[in-house]
Structure 1
Amino acid sequence: MDKNNALDALAALGQETRLDVFRLLVRAGGEGMTAGAVSEALQVRANTLSTHLGVLSRSGLIEAERKGRSIVYSAQIGVMQGLVNYLLEDCCGGNPDLCAPVMGARPVLPVEPDRS
């Protein structure tokens, strides 16, 4: 990741709704979610959400895939990992071993309760 890509990603996440969308899509995992499902889950109007999805897509943090008649959005975890690596690549005063636990850490996502 280069500086401009990092700035684009940080700018995309620097808005409350877009951060909420990204985190929701992370929780959704590889299955992703349709725009309608995201809109309903976050109580965001469809036209407003469309703008936010566009910003996140252009930054590379999410990807849209057509599945039948729907477009499914999913978080691009590799791009987020690239952003974190970029931010931390010069950390720890030239001693990267100190950052290794952070660089290799994988977030533990909360498990949603079964509502069936």
Structure 2
Amino acid sequence: MEHSTATRALAALGHGTRLSIFRLLVQAGHGGKLAGEIGQALALPGATLSFHLKELAAAGLVTAEQRGRAICYRANFDSMNGLLDYLTENCCAGDQSCQATGRC
């Protein structure tokens, strides 16, 4: 992952509402959630939800699929895992105990 891509993703997740939306979509798994379900779960008006979903999509963190008159949103797990890999790429300067446990 490039530094600029990571910066965009982190900036998008740096807003509380967008972080809540993203976490909800991660919990939903690969099936995702319809826009109306997201709005209802987080008590967000449609325009506000649409704005935040657009920002997450621009950062590559969510994908959208038209389902008739509704839109289904999904977390982009490849992008999420790429961001996590980027953040931990040189964790603890290669300390083997850190790499073995996945924790520092």
TM over 0.5: yes
Residues 75-114 of structure 1 mapped to structure 2, 5 A cutoff: 75-95=75-95, 98-102=98-102
The corresponding residue for 1:7 is: 7
Q: Would the aligned equivalents of 1:88 and 1:99 in 2 still touch at CA under 8 Å? A: no
The corresponding residue for 2:25 is: 25
Provide the aligned length of Structure 1 versus Structure 2: 103
TM-score (norm 1): 0.82
Greater helix content? 2
Structure 1 spans left out of the alignment, 5+ residues: 104-116
The 1-side partners of 2:32 and 2:20 are apart by 14
Quote the offset at 1:43 in angstroms.
Answer: 0.3
RMSD over aligned Cα atoms: 1.5
The 1-side partners of 2:54 and 2:35 are apart by 11
Quote the offset at 1:92 in angstroms.
Answer: 1.2
The 1-side partners of 2:100 and 2:63 are apart by 28
Structure 2 spans left out of the alignment, 5+ residues: none
State, as a whole percentage, how many aligned pairs show the same letter: 47
Name the SS of the counterpart of 1:17 in structure 2.
Answer: helix
Judged with a 3 Å threshold, the aligned counterparts in structure 2 of structure 1 residues 79 and 59 are, in CA distance, closer, same or farther, namely: same
